[in-house]
Amino acid sequence: MAVLDAETLAPATTPPPARLSKISQEDFDAMVQESIDTFDMEPEEAVESALEECAMQKRDVSAICKKADGVNAREALPIVVAFRKLDAQLPKGVPLPGTTEQTTHELDAAKIAEAIDDVRSAITSCSDDDERANMLCIAADVGLTGCALYACRCAAATADSALLVNALHALKDCLGAQMPRDVFVHCKGSIELCAYLTTYADDVQVATATCVVVEAAASKHEASKDAHVKAGIPTALVGIFEKHADDDAACLACVEAMRRIATADDPTPMQASGAFRYARDMGKGGGAVAVLSAIKRRASRL
């Protein structure tokens, strides 16, 4: 019979690795150019040399355009071109929905919609997950994540709910890597999402799309989960779940968002996981009863 001592009970996994320090595109380009000038390397060889040096220095190159003259090469990337186009269509100072402040800006819904579609197309055109993650990090580094978050405000200000839904889905697409989720937290995105969940609680399409973004932002990101909780998103999710209890898509999106917040899945957490506490609080706040009621209701249809 095995003896359950302290060593046996200790977790078998090693502590998560620390996050790497980032290097700017300009500094990376300087490393490449130095190799070309000093050692007469070909551009491709100089890029590989710079990547190897960054690996030895434990530098994060996830947001780097891995080409010679990367600054200019980065600007030519479809996702960066799409970001610049979207950014040009969004006036500054549009208020968050649910506030008493009214927008006085003229918004061209058709042009905003076209620019949002271009962003989504650029993301989906990536050949594989690794390329998509690299492109999303590059785009986040130049400002796409914050722009996509703000585009939702502008879409809401047009009073076109279909445009808002598409903008929310574009934001979800932009959050498919760690760095964009870092930016999302920095931009206080959870507060914005909670505003959509409460302001548009009766609009099942907007509420569902917002739940999808909540789940994407919290994926493998402890700081985002914590920001969601502090913004009041779990309470808003329970409200959406109860209000749209008979809508399968809304309930599924809501449950996935709740589950993600209550899951400790961040591979490199910068803070201790609060997943257990979040799950407990959501359960006490009506989440457990709401989910159980939904299960019973759907089981009765079988």
pLDDT confidence of residue 109: 96
pLDDT tens figures, 168-208: 999 999 999 999 999 999 999 999 999 999 999 999 999 99
Report the amino acid identity of residue 160: D
Same domain, 115 and 177: yes
CA distance 33 to 123: 29
Helical H segments across the chain, by residue range: 6-9, 25-39, 43-56, 70-75, 78-88, 109-124, 129-142, 144-157, 161-174, 178-186, 189-199, 204-218, 222-231, 233-243, 248-261, 275-282, 288-299
Same domain, 172 and 242: no
Same domain, 114 and 155: yes
Instruction: Give the residue, 300 or 113, on which the prediction is more confident.
Output: 113
In the predicted structure, residue 14 carries a pLDDT above the cut 60: no
Identify which of 199, 262, 260, 198 has the alpha carbon closest to the alpha carbon of residue 232.
198
CA distance 239 to 109: 30
In the predicted structure, residue 9 carries a pLDDT above the cut 60: no
Same domain, 159 and 127: yes
pLDDT confidence of residue 256: 97
Report the amino acid identity of residue 299: A
In the predicted structure, residue 28 carries a pLDDT above the cut 60: yes
Q: Is residue 285 part of a domain?
A: yes
Q: Is residue 250 part of a domain?
A: yes
Highest average pLDDT, of 37-41, 165-169, 242-246, comes from 165-169
pTM over 0.85: yes
Same domain, 41 and 142: no
CA distance 57 to 54: 5
Helical H segments across 175-247, by residue range: 178-186, 189-199, 204-218, 222-231, 233-243
What does the pLDDT average to over 8-33? 69
CA 116: distance to chain centroid? 16
pLDDT confidence of residue 18: 55
What does the pLDDT average to over 282-290? 90
pLDDT confidence of residue 21: 87
Number of H helices, E strands in the chain: 17, 2
Report the amino acid identity of residue 161: S
Same domain, 224 and 272: yes
Domain count, the chain: 3
pLDDT tens figures, 106-133: 899 999 999 999 999 999 999 899 999 9
Same domain, 292 and 203: yes
Same domain, 198 and 182: no
In the predicted structure, residue 5 carries a pLDDT above the cut 70: no
Mean pLDDT of the chain: 91
pLDDT tens figures, 208-253: 999 999 999 999 999 999 999 999 999 999 999 999 999 999 999 9
Rg over CA atoms, the chain: 22
